[in-house]
Structure 1
């Protein structure tokens, strides 16, 4: 086996471990949010990202930016926004300066649900990371997640 083969195998194993960690966390969050708040992990993520918008310059995200922030296709993001809008958790409106632009805001009901769900989300995330840290394949990734700068706004592009 060549050094290139060994490196390729190492990359594949690293990618597998990262995917495994993501899947475990996503499943744990999904169960907790669904049972406690009738929210999917993606719905929670969308509400969270949109709740950080502000009225100042560059404070609102266009739908393509929202799609990037929640890691969904544009069409899947539109369907997700529509579902939450139908539940009264989001509202959409045209951009005042560019009539082609559509913005989405979290409604007061959406903010209330997000605030109610946040402790569940955070506890489930902590549980999932604690469980994953016991797996030697995942422990380095958990350590990395735990050391990422908390001030970073990954929801904002």
Structure 2
């Protein structure tokens, strides 16, 4: 395959469009969350992921699983957890069955902030997708994203 191969160029263009869409959405949602709730997109995502944990087998996520869910390295996730713990939004505790394991839970204050921020997040996401959907180069990606919700 040559560097000027049309299929490679189309693939690269598709990747650029996807990257552009992601950047626009993330920036829009970030501004909305920061302005209204003092949360970054990563902080919101971490609170959201951790709020979905439950008691019982497989209910609590290990730090690697959390890192994978928020698309960060384990060290970056640990730093993010520490920042939110310092703000009183998260708490950490040792696993009952494995003292090497540390779990993280969302505190009551974290649950309340997440509940307040969720409508802001969802509205900003909808706005960003609507805006991107009006751009010819991004519209097919937005349509594909929206079809993911109806695929079930």
TM bin, normalised by shorter chain, reads over 0.9
Partner of 1:29: 29
Q: Deviations over 1:61-97 (max 9, x none)?
A: 0001000000001110000000000000000011111
Given the two structures, how large is their TM-score scaled by the length of structure 2? 0.95
C-alpha displacement at 1:149, in angstroms? 3.3
SS at match of 1:149: helix
Partner of 1:50: 50
SS at match of 2:149: coil
C-alpha displacement at 1:150, in angstroms? 6.9
- Consecutive unaligned residues in structure 1, runs of 5 or more: 153-157
Instruction: Flag as ranges the 4+ runs of structure 1 deviating above 3 A.
Output: 149-152
SS at match of 2:54: coil
Tell me, in whole angstroms, the C-alpha distance in 2 between the residues paired with 1:147 and 1:60: 30
Change in Cα spacing, 1:151 to 1:51, as seen in structure 2 (3 Å) is: farther
Change in Cα spacing, 1:16 to 1:79, as seen in structure 2 (3 Å) is: same
SS at match of 1:105: strand
Change in Cα spacing, 1:123 to 1:40, as seen in structure 2 (3 Å) is: same
C-alpha displacement at 1:151, in angstroms? 9.7
Q: Deviations over 1:25-77 (max 9, x none)?
A: 00001000000000000000000000000002101000010000000011100
Change in Cα spacing, 1:27 to 1:102, as seen in structure 2 (3 Å) is: same
- Consecutive unaligned residues in structure 2, runs of 5 or more: none
Q: Deviations over 1:115-138 (max 9, x none)?
A: 000000000000000000011111
Tell me, in whole angstroms, the C-alpha distance in 2 between the residues paired with 1:150 and 1:83: 36
Aligned pairs, number = 152
RMSD: 1.9
